Structure formats: structure tokens, C-alpha cells
Amino acid sequence: MKTPRILLLLPLILLASCAAPLVLVGMGAAVGIWTYDDLNDDGGHMIVHAPAQDVFLVAKSAVESRPNAKDITATRGSMRIEFLEDKAKVTVQVMLMPDTPEFSNLKVYAAELGIHGRADLAREIAQDINSRFQ
């Protein structure tokens, strides 16, 4: 007596139906890790008492003077500087403060291997930039 083919496919169908929720949970975890890394303040966030354009120019100068900084990309329009230092991807972002043009918001992020935060490096760079205004 031959076994109907549907009985052979039944275990595969059941396995596929169980795997779908696991894929969704895995995707949710990946999105959560990405969002946490993207929005996490890893140390280098401060308010600087200077206009945003001045902070950007000083930040660019500070980054260019760092001996281990490589592949520096400065975007003047968005006031963003990206570079590599000690295996870490560093982003310096200068933002305007609403209704207070004499202050700027300085954020420095440093990540190694995509999601491993380097708060120590981010703090060091932010403090270096801020100290140039005092």
C-alpha cells in the first residue's frame, strides 16, 4: 500500500507554519536592536554656547586635528561630520536650538561593529569640541 503524498507533505507544512512566528520574533528583535543603537545617546551630547555654524566649523577643525581620524566626511548643509577612529564609526551632529540662536545642540555618536557603543570616545570628542569655546 502506497502512502498518499499529502501525508508526506503534512510535516513540512506544519514545520513551515511554526517557523513563521519565529521569523517575526527574530525580525522584531533585529529592529529593536537597530532602533536602540540609532536612538541611544552614547555619551557625547551637550549644549554649546555658540551659534551652530561656529560649532560646526570648530568641530570640523577638532576632528581634522585628531591623529587617528580617517575618512573624514563633512557635510556643511546638515552640519554633520562622519569619520573613522580606532575601529569606530564616529558621527558628529550639530543642531540648531529653536528660539535660541546663540546656543547649539552637539551630539557625538561612536559605534564599533555597528551596534557596540563607544561612549568613552564620543564623550572625549564632544568635550574636546566644547572646550575650544571656553
Tens digit of each residue's pLDDT (9 = 90 or more) over 59-97: 999 999 999 889 999 998 899 999 998 888 889 999 998
Please return the burial class of 126, using the count of CB atoms within 10 Å of its CB with bins 0-12, 13-18 and 19+.
buried
1: pLDDT strictly greater than 60: no
Residue ranges of domains in the chain:
1-39, 41-131
Residue pLDDT, tens place only, 98-108: 888 899 999 99
> Is 80 exceeded by the pLDDT of residue 3?
no
Give the predicted TM-score (pTM) of the model: 0.68
The residue ranking higher by pLDDT, 32 or 66, is 66
pLDDT at 56 over 90: yes
Going by C-alpha positions, the residue among 40, 54, 32 that lies closest to residue 109 is: 40
| CATH topology classification for 41-131 | Alpha-D-Glucose-1,6-Bisphosphate; Chain A, domain 4 (3.30.530)
